[in-house]
Amino acid sequence: MSVDLLVRGGDVLTVDEAGTVVRDGAVAVRDGAIVAVGPAAELTARHPAAEEIDATGCLVLPGLINTHTHLAMTLLRGRADDVTLQGFLERVLAWEARLLTPENVAAAVRLAIAESVRAGVTSALDMYWFHEAAARVAREAGWRLHTGPTFMDVPEPPDGMAYEKRLAWARQDLEAQGPAGAGRRPVLFAHSAYTLSPDQLTEIFALAREFGALVHLHAAENATEVATVEVAHGRRPVELLDALGLLGPDVVIAHAVDLTGAEIGALARTGTAVAHCPVSNLKLGCGIAPVPRLLAAGVTVGLGTDGAVSSNTLDVLGAVRLAALVHKAGGDPTAVGAEQAVRMATIGAARALGLGDRLGSLEVGKRADLVVLDLNAPHLRPPHDPWSTLAYAAQASDVRDTVVDGRVLLRDRTLTTLDAGAVTAELEVLLGVNG
């Protein structure tokens, strides 16, 4: 059978259940899906390809998935450093009111996608204003973006839409998105229990569940947030969501830093997933999420970068390294191992999104989102163990090729669907010479 793309000659880290590594392997792609994974010699003989990537001397792995971000916050990178979460929000909300337009969001997302593709990130769960602009830019670039309407009941939302109109608008958007498809599903974003009332949260979740949509929100990011929600509603954020019947396998909670044992049990009992953002949590002084306890309880955990203003980077591989290191600080070097950290950025993230049957590993039938990582740099030699190499040594700059849905978006470290220089210049012109 002829194929559209054959990635051959590298060591293929499939991230399947067994953790299979195919030395001198290959991945064959047809119509955006993986049709074969196996020895390079065998697949080369069986599958003549219209396009090939020679991955000799490289590691081939599933595309990294950013399970929590605000892509257009590239607009504000460096604008809110060295402050608490609450100080961060005060600054960011003021800047957003001044800066956000569909045009600026589109330009900022182009920059974010360029950064992400060069770092081996093939998709993201993106909560932000003017999501239609972000979705259009992602389609044009061939990148996999999970986005949808955002609810945040603040006095002057950047899009000028009052909460009362937002539900009807979101319904129309979900109708336009249609049912889940190849590597995608509809999404709604409810910012948090401190910017939305219990009644509003209940309405938003009901709408999402009517359409089978994923719901993503912030919860338990730091102690101050938890106290704020508890004072306002008599319950901690996760406790409140559980009491309202809003937790479930269709929900991804970002951060989950300040959790009780009972709340961890509630997340596990309901099948609710967590997006772990170690860089952002440390930079804002929020603390360290209890990821080892979450994993031990059976909670699905994905990795996220948060926005480029709270973490200053969209480098998921950097989050892998930090996730593999920071939890060892308590004295247990096995708290989160290299393989666990890599899985959180691939199959764990895919499962958090409810897309584990379509994304997150290199297996026949899944969408062809993959990365070729060059192993020839001195800091990656010798490559004894691929999990260790990825978690403790690899850098975003080691990514050589990135493929999304079978389309090569980065070839030999050059973007194919975006011009990095033009994208950067466009955003800086919109912001003004001095940003």
pLDDT digits (tens, 9 = 90+) for 131-175: 999 999 999 999 999 999 999 998 889 999 999 899 999 999 999
Question: What does the CA dihedral 171, 173, 179, 182 come to, rounded to 10 degrees?
Answer: -160
Per-residue pLDDT at 435: 44
Express each pLDDT in 188-207 by its tens digit.
Answer: 999 999 999 999 999 999 99
Cis peptide before 382 (omega within 30 of 0): yes
Helix (H, G, I), strand (E, B) or coil at 249: coil
Greatest alpha-carbon pair distance for the chain in Å reads: 66
**Is residue 115 within 8 Å of residue 84, measured between CB atoms?**
no
Q: Is 275 exposed, middle or buried (0-12, 13-18, 19+ CB in 10 A)?
A: buried
Low-confidence spans in the chain with pLDDT less than 70 = 433-435
| Separation in Å, CA 415 to CA 56, 108, 164, 419, 420 | 20, 17, 42, 7, 7
**Which amino acid, 205?**
F
What angle do the packed helices 223-233 and 85-99 form, to 10 degrees? 80
Q: Where are the alpha helices (DSSP H) in 14-162?
A: 40-46, 85-99, 102-118, 131-141
Kindly write down the DSSP assignment for every residue of 148-202, as one continuous string: --EE---SS-TT---HHHHHHHHHHHHHHH-S-BTTB--EEEE--TTTS-HHHHH
List the one residue out of 409, 414, 381 whose CA is nearest residue 59: 381
Query: pLDDT value at position 156?
Result: 85
Q: Give the Å distances, CA to CA, from 369 to 74, 123, 380.
A: 24, 9, 23
Over residues 323-375, the pLDDT tens digits come to 999 999 999 999 999 999 999 999 999 999 999 999 999 999 999 999 999 99
Quick check: 422 and 431 in contact, CB under 8 A?
no
Helices and strands: H and E segment counts in the chain: 16, 18
The pLDDT assigned to 93 comes to 85
Closest by CA position to 257, among listed 267, 247, 249, 248: 267
How many Å apart are CA 97 and CA 185, to the nearest integer? 29
CA distance 34 to 37: 8
All domains of the chain, ordered by start, with CATH? 3-63+361-415 (2.30.40.10), 65-352 (3.20.20.140)
pTM of the predicted structure, to 2 decimals: 0.97
pLDDT value of position 434: 47
